[in-house]
Amino acid sequence: VTSLSRARRSIPSGTIASSPRGGRERRSASRIRLAVAFTPPEPAKPEAAVAPPPSAEPGVAKPAAVADEVTILGSRDPVSSPTQQRIGRAEVRMIPGAFGDPYRAIDILPGVIPIVSGLPYYFIRGAPPSAVGYFVEEVRVPYLFHFGLGPGVIQPALIEEVSLHPAAYPARYGRFAGGIIAGQLREPATELRGEAQIRVYDAGAYVESPFADGRAVAGVGGRYSYTAALLSLFAPGITIDYRDYNARVAYAINDDVRISAFAFGAFDYASNEEQGVEQVIFASEFHRLDLRLDRHTATSDSRVAFMIGLDRTRLEDARFAQNRLIGLRGRHRVAVRKDLDVEIGADVLVELYGGDLPSRFAVGKQDYDDAFNFFSPRTDTSSGAWVSATYYAGKAFELTGTLRGDVFTSDGKIAFGPSPRATMRVPLYRKLAFLGALGIAPQPPAFAIPVPAVGYRGLPGGLAFAYQKSAGFEVDLPYRFSLRTLAFHHSYFNLRDFTRDRSNIDITDVSPPNGSPAQAYGMEVYLSRKLSERFGAFLSYTLSRTELGSTPDDASRVAPFDRTHVFQVGGAADLGAGWHTSARLLVYTGWPTQERRDPNDASGTAPVTDQPSGSRLPGFTRLDLRLEKRWKFRKAGYISFVLEGLNVTGTRDIVGRRCGGSLGCRDTYFGPVIAPSIGVEGAL
């Protein structure tokens, strides 16, 4: 390589507009000019030593190099952050226990603390699940998994990668204090492609194809559960049903501009038949349609998008709730200088809540108040604007500063949440770099578990704020291993946190108290070699502590869901002949004991929970396995038979302990959550 430079000149259309396969490819936001000197191979040496030609100068043994210029196209990811963690689609497939779902795969990353094994809800650096935002292609998703814990609602075939932003998120993300999990869609297909899975309990597929001479792409997919039919064989009175859909259409107006529509939605339904009457236990659905105009040039990247959505939910003994959403967002990122990118953007989301409010005379006061809080008509708005600048001071040296602010309104209340952020990546020595992040993240009151169309009215208690700090190092190791280790300290203020007392969790509380300050600190280590390699491996370790308090009426204590150690090690191997296997071992510390005595027990003989105080419940160990046999056809097509199991040893989480006089101590368990999966997957 004789020179390397970042080109600013626009790339001629003919150079990149048509792919070798005839389809159209998106123009990159930036490009790198790489000048390469190709050296022709030396002629074969004769058997016998031959004297050099007389014309050859002494010391010059090779012929003159032939210079050429190769342009490597690649976009600098505008949403990258030095402290983010990414998992690509090829890796996701190999992570045992993730069942190919990118959003479920993030639990291998450090900083992600499971509540209990098998539940796809996590604490991230001490922040509860209600403080973590999930996005797909910048659209917030009400819930990612059917029934909150089942299969994902987004087809894996659509997702290119999923990123975890635990702190100082990219400017376009906000309104969550605990972290952002963002999925990025794949580029539209340039030829017919698709993926499908058939499992014991459901089937899903996604197919996408170009048309209009490659200028347009259309894709559709979904998942359908036949658990209702299966259950009817064993439990005739119970119905569990879920399904989802994903679709997108994209059209390239020219080499720079593309319009697209992305639609997705899901439906969950559970009921129980009592005395011949079907009682709805839970029913929920959501729909999103995102219309976008994207413009990419060599030096800029812009998007204007309009989103509409509909959420509906019905809970047992409660009412039908509905939320209609309208969102508008825009951003523009431009390389104002060779070493400076600037992004500005804004977004507005209007949510029109409503529902079937009962007569205030026909139900009890508490029931009516609850219903009023959740189902009476109201309009909530969230508006944000940001400006962000990234300075590329040198090779792999970047500094990003962001100013973002969000305004929230609900039922006549208004709140403003400033959110400044800064990140840096500073090369220290060859393959060693320093990573740093600082940020403030505001969040409006959030429901404990995201339920479509159900939220708090009137911003009760005001905004919560997280103060995020992290720093560490990243180093590339031999054999394509990489190591990243970060220390973090996050503080949370005014967070409505349902997880402060394990013995008293009421997720339907309409006015949970604002929690006293909490803080989480610790260290994360992630050593990995891509699982998409022939032999891949990862080691993920989180050493952390989350503390609650302290205020005069809330003494400092360890958070009830704190886990000191979360350790994972796993590997994947291509065994040849189409056989792939992977395994993961997960070990984590038990929760702190939470001693609680019956205040009315004067004799002291009543059972006591989690005795003794100050210790911890036993830890947990889980083993996940995956085995795949793949038959390939055509260029990229395959059919796979997949055996996958989460928690194949059937280990149970210990979630409590009761000690009583003659009974001794007895552990209480959750699970075991075992998720075996036998399925067939295929791709075109």
- The binding site for other proteins (CB under 8 A) comprises 209, 211-212, 216, 218-222, 224, 243-245, 247, 249, 265-267, 269, 280, 283-285, 287, 312-314, 319-320, 356, 358-368
How far apart CA 173 and CA 93 sit, in angstroms, is 26
- Pairing mode, if any, of strands 340-355 and 320-337? antiparallel
Closer Cβ to other proteins, 68 or 356, answer by number: 356
Q: In terms of Cα–Cα distance, which of 373, 390, 386, 450 is closest to 130?
A: 450
Q: Report the alpha-carbon distance of residue 342 to residue 435 in Å, rounded.
A: 21
CB of 207 to other proteins, least distance (A): 8
Output the CA torsion 9→14→16→22 (10° steps). Answer: 170
Residue whose structure tokens are 């139900």: 363
Runs of H (alpha helix) within 477-534? none
Cβ 276 to other proteins shortest distance, Å: 15
Nearest approach, Cβ of residue 306 and other proteins (Å): 19
Beta strands in 1-61 (DSSP E): 3-7, 31-38
Count the neighbouring beta carbons within 10 Å of the beta carbon of residue 557.
16
Contact 581, 572 (CB under 8 A): yes
Nearest approach, Cβ of residue 355 and other proteins (Å): 8
Sign of CA dihedral 118, 121, 125, 127: negative
Whole-angstrom Cα distance, residue 594 to residue 477? 43
Length, in residues, of the chain: 684
At its nearest, how many Å lie between other proteins and the CB of residue 459? 19
Nearer to other proteins, 284 or 300 (CB): 284
User: Rounded to an integer, what distance in angstroms lies between the CA atom of residue 641 and that of residue 367?
Assistant: 51
Please, which residue, 174 or 219, has the CB nearer to other proteins? Answer: 219
State how far the alpha carbon of 535 is from the alpha carbons of 28, 101, 111, 335, 488, in Å.
Answer: 31, 21, 25, 39, 31
Q: Specify the residue, 77 or 509, whose C-beta has the smaller distance to other proteins.
A: 509
Residue with smaller CB distance to other proteins, 353 or 392: 353
Smallest distance, other proteins to C-beta of residue 484, A: 40
Which CB, 201 or 391, lies closer to other proteins? 201
Residues β-bridged to residue 308: 289, 326
Smaller CB separation from other proteins, 199 or 314 = 314
Cβ of residue 225: shortest distance to other proteins, in angstroms? 11
Compare residues 287 and 490 and give the one whose CB is closer to other proteins: 287
Closest approach, Cβ 358 to other proteins, in A, equals 6
CB of 383 to other proteins, least distance (A): 29
Nearer to other proteins, 256 or 367 (CB): 367
Which of residues 284 and 564 has its CB atom nearest to other proteins in the complex?
284
Rg (CA), the chain: 28
Tokens 């992977």 locate to 582
Tell me how far apart the alpha carbons of residues 325 and 308 are, in angstroms, rounded to a whole number.
5
> Nearer Cβ to other proteins, position 205 or 623?
205
Q: Residue 190: CB partners within 8 Å, gap ≥ 6?
A: 19, 21, 22, 23, 24, 25, 210, 214
Nearer to other proteins (CB atom), residue 368 or residue 467: 368
Nearest approach in angstroms of CB 280 to other proteins is 6
**Nearest CA-CA partner of 646 in 622, 670, 629, 627:** 622
Cα 341 from Cα 402, distance rounded (Å): 12
In the complex, minimum distance from the CB of residue 269 to other proteins, in angstroms, rounded to a whole number: 7
DSSP string, 461-524: T--EEEEEEEEEEEEE-GGG-EEEEEEEEEEEES---S-S-TT---TT-SSPPPPPPEEEEEEE
Whole-number Cα distances in Å, 364 to 360, 361, 367, 648: 8, 8, 5, 47
Nearer to other proteins, 111 or 221 (CB): 221
Minimum Å distance from CB 644 to other proteins?
26
Task: Compute the least distance from the CB of residue 201 to other proteins, in Å.
Answer: 17
Give the 3-state secondary structure of residue 148.
helix
CB of 364 to other proteins, least distance (A): 5
- Tokens standing for 102? 């990118």
CB of 369 to other proteins, least distance (A): 9
Of 62 and 365, which has the nearer Cβ to other proteins? 365
Which residues fall within 8 angstroms of residue 3, CB to CB, at 6 or more apart?
Answer: 33, 34, 35
Neighbouring residues of 256: CB distance < 8 A, sequence distance ≥ 6: 27, 295, 296, 297
The Cα angle at residue 354 between residues 352 and 360, in degrees rounded to 5: 145
**What distance in Å separates the CA atoms of residue 586 and residue 543, rounded to the nearest whole number?**
14
26: DSSP letter: P
Cα torsion 225, 229, 234, 239: sign: positive
Residue 166 or 355 having the CB closest to other proteins: 355
**Least CB distance from residue 452 to other proteins, whole Å?**
9
Which residue from 322, 373, 329, 374 is spatially nearest to 351, judged by alpha carbons? 322
Q: Residues with Cβ < 8 Å from 229, sequence gap 6 or more? A: none
Query: Of 281 and 399, which has the nearer Cβ to other proteins?
Result: 281
Handedness of CA 562, 563, 564, 570 (dihedral sign): negative
> 263, 298 in Cβ contact below 8 A?
no
